Amino acid sequence: MAETIKADELMIIESARHIRDGETVFAGTGMPLVAAMYAQKSHAPHMCFVIETGPIDPQVLPVPTSVSDPKGMHRAAKLGTLREVLGCLLQRGLVDVGFLGGAQIDQFANINSTVIGDYQQPKVRFPGSGGANDIASHAKRILVICRHEKRRFPEKCAYITSPGYINGPEGRKRAGIKNDHPDITVVTDLAVMAVDKSTGKLQVFKLMPGVSFEQVQANTGFPITASPHITTVDLPTEENLRVLHQEVDPEGEYLGKED
């Protein structure tokens, strides 16, 4: 079975495991939205889903293609506004989990979704922050999902769109961020990493099935340490995969059609 499971399936299901039933989860667009949907339709039916554009606690119909897709508004407790979800919920500290993606993530878990190269004349310009900076600054816990490639994990981000621990264990506190020592977890197709609060740096504490620590290091642009208690991510069950493909993404918008 392990040979037939796709990397994206593993990433989505593992990241969703970090969401607890009853929590308020603010999910950004793309894979975070898919993983939050999966959590709601599997082990966290009482999760309060908040979408950046304003829907609060919707019963999401399969796989919105963006945070503005009406499928993300289905049977919402409230169709709010940006001000309500960013200001009245997130910035008041009422969001348990902020769920993000990113183009680059550095050793201090800072996220770049803005630009590569010079800001005025960049090599690549990305979509920018949206609500990502607010999410990273104010959510009680931060969850990130992305592919693990050396170019995506540089020692220092070209631009900090959303703060991790900035430059060390007291970096957020020095910057005046009220939530100064949050739990930050990064789930990739190779590993699960979390910030060691004593250093402010990412550390590997789980490996994806069949992946070695040496593979993780080879695909990371900075020296990374392993937890003394490193484990392997549990494989999804057939029921996990059924929910993901039949209830979350039946048209294969993100995961493609099942073979």
Tell me which residues are annotated as active site: 52
Cα–Cα dist 83/49, whole Å = 16
| Token duo for residue 106 | 């550095």
Question: Which residue, among 193, 221, 218, has the nearest Cα to 207 in the 3D structure?
Answer: 193
Residue 218: CB atoms within 10 A of its CB come to 10
Q: Please tell me what DSSP assigns to residue 50.
A: E
Question: Which residue, among 138, 145, 186, has the nearest Cα to 162 in the 3D structure?
Answer: 138
CB-based contact 111:136 (threshold 8 Å): yes
Cα–Cα dist 220/96, whole Å = 29
CB-based contact 248:37 (threshold 8 Å): yes
CB-based contact 163:204 (threshold 8 Å): no
Question: Which residue, among 233, 193, 246, has the nearest Cα to 14 in the 3D structure?
Answer: 233
Which residues contact residue 16 at a Cβ distance below 8 angstroms, ignoring those fewer than 6 apart? 35, 36, 38, 39, 42, 43, 44
Pairing relationship of beta strands 111-112 and 104-105 according to DSSP bridges:
antiparallel
| Token duo for residue 138 | 């104010």
